[in-house]
Amino acid sequence: MTIPVIHRSPKRMLIAAAIAIFVTYFLLHPVVSSRSAPVPQPHQQGEAKFGDWANRPENWPSKSKLVDLPEGTPHKLPRIQHDFAADAPDPQLKKLNAARRDAVKAAFKKSWDSYRKYAWGFDELRPETLKGDDTFAGWGATLVDSLDTLWIMGFKDEFEESVKAVQKIDWGAASGTGCSLFETTIRYLGGLLSAYDLSGSRPLLDKALELAHMLYAAFDNPARMPVNNFRFDLAWSGNLMPSSREISAAVGTMSMEFTRLAQLTNETKFYDAIDRIKVQMEKTQAKSYLPGMWPMWLDVSEGIHPMDNSFTLGAQADSLYEYLPKMYALLGGLDEVYAKMAKYMLDTARKHILFRPMVPDKVDILFSGEVIANGNVLDLKTEMQHLSCFVGGMYALSGKLLAFEDGVATGARLARGCAWAYSAFPTGIMAEVATVAECGSGAGKKDKNIQTPGTALEPPCEWNQTLWENLAGMNAKTLPGGFTSVWDRRYLLRPEAIESVFVLYRITGEREWLDSAWAMFESIRAATETEHAFSGIGDVTLKTRNNKIDSMESFWLSETLKYFFLIFSEPDVISLDDFVLNTEAHPFRIPKPR
């Protein structure tokens, strides 16, 4: 066979060589658009130290039959949202909301892109040093926490990419020896369940179930009570014992996540675990030093026993109370115990925990404080926490859902209180923790029987400059009128204030809440934006560029920006009549009558 001779011209050979070099270079150095930018390799998880949690034998199995989800068809719940369809069309407002929504979406995209570029797979991005940080066991808290926000905002490509990354998480390979049961439940388990509820992506439910089997080991003890300090080795061996001093929020803030998982998978054990907590909470609600509420600390070593005399709707207790009305909704109204406990708590808190501050402009607002109970004497600390700003939304939601008397009006006064606190500081952002003067004596101590109504919440409330100056002391020279001290001057990108403003808008349809939300967003953006993302700040009383603390917790994307986005969205986007949101702003579908 004769092989033909191919004659190559020098010009063609040079062109061919150039093409070969060009192709080789771009195979080694691919050019991609910013939309499909290469994902940095995440930090490597360690090797898994334990086996299959789903098949781990229990050391302390339940001695009684597991409790199933309530039987029956879900009830038709009362309407929560304002009837927006009945409002006259307002093209200008629609256009304004769209522009504001786009601004929020841009803030999210900037934050997400930087997390993706600099901290992919880590729990959080440090927004100034552009490094990843593991603060929640190293499973990628921001990644999981942001899944439903990506879906809601329409970032479907980013969502699909994240789902693939989530499937690679190994719960057995954490960055430390344990995790917080509370944080893992609300951020990881809640995030996965919500993203599944919205997208129907089965791998997310599988991953949630995989995680929940591990977390269920927190109940493997004689008391069948949860252990928040979840040590992996002790949990695996069945030697994780409940504490005689546990934060009450950690005890009562798994009910929504475990219930939704049970609804989606028909795995009874998850609902049984949290129903046992409900039974114990109901038994002890009237037995604390402030009947109707539970103290900040509980003894759960043998059931649940109140062991403290400090009561608050803020830090260490907050979401325990938040979940009571929400569980009633999530169970389709089939368990009246949650409604009963919620109403008892709301009434007690309104009498003794809520108070009206004395402020210069005499606005009709409320805050949620802290009470120390000593016999029949209640010492009210007129402390306002950013964490307790969710309370306005809780009262308003309960006013509609549970027909709690004046719930919406009380919630509105609380939400306005936090919006007022934002506007009072130079940055336009409220502090983590501050104290204010109370209307009336300002003393806070109530020498009365604790069964009688507490602090007067109704007008009039006159401004008393002399009283305020006496209470504030030297702070009167530097703090806004009404404030007596600022214990924690930071703003950590928290969501609770905008959460209540969002809920009040969806319930009332009143324009004031939109304007309050936008003022808050503009202030937050101005004070916290960095070159690449957003950062918490160290002092809300100072308008300075050197105020960033290099922290961007996952709730910035999961909660804060989600609530800002939703308030400027159409009201049927995550309607409060269709979804109930957990304490990390993860929406769960409410069961409906067939």
Residue 583 in marked binding region: yes
Rounded distance, CA 545 to CA 157, Å?
35
Which residues make Cβ contacts (< 8 Å) with residue 332, sequence separation at least 6?
70, 73, 74, 75, 77, 590, 591, 592, 593
Give the residues across from 339 on adjacent strands. none
β-pair type (377-381, 445-447): antiparallel
Evaluate whether 579 touches 588 at the Cβ level (below 8 Å). Answer: yes
How far is it, in rounded angstroms, from Cα 484 to Cα 359?
Answer: 11
Q: 123, 496, 499, 539: which one is catalytic?
A: 496
- Percent helix, strand, coil in the chain, to 5, is 45, 10, 45
Q: Which of 43, 41, 44, 50 is nearest to 177 (CA)?
A: 50
* From 145, 267, 432, 539, the catalytic residue: 432
Question: The tokens of 199 are what?
Answer: 């997208």
570 is catalytic: no
Q: How many CB atoms lie within 10 A of CB 31?
A: 5
Copy the structure tokens of residue 4.
């033909």
Active site residue 432: yes
E strands within 17-164? Answer: 124-126, 131-133
- Annotated catalytic, 183? yes
Strand partners, 537: 491, 548
- Taking the C-alpha atoms of residue 446 and residue 440, their distance in angstroms, rounded to an integer, is 12
Provide the 8-state DSSP code for 6: P
Q: Quote the strand ranges of 224-334, DSSP E.
A: 229-231, 246-247, 297-299, 305-306, 310-312
Burial label for 113, CB within 10 Å (0-12, 13-18, 19+), is: middle
81, 85, 88, 92: CA torsion to nearest 10: 80
Of 124, 158, 183, 275, which residue is the catalytic one?
183
Catalytic residues: 183, 318, 432, 496
Residues in the annotated binding site for Ca(2+): 583
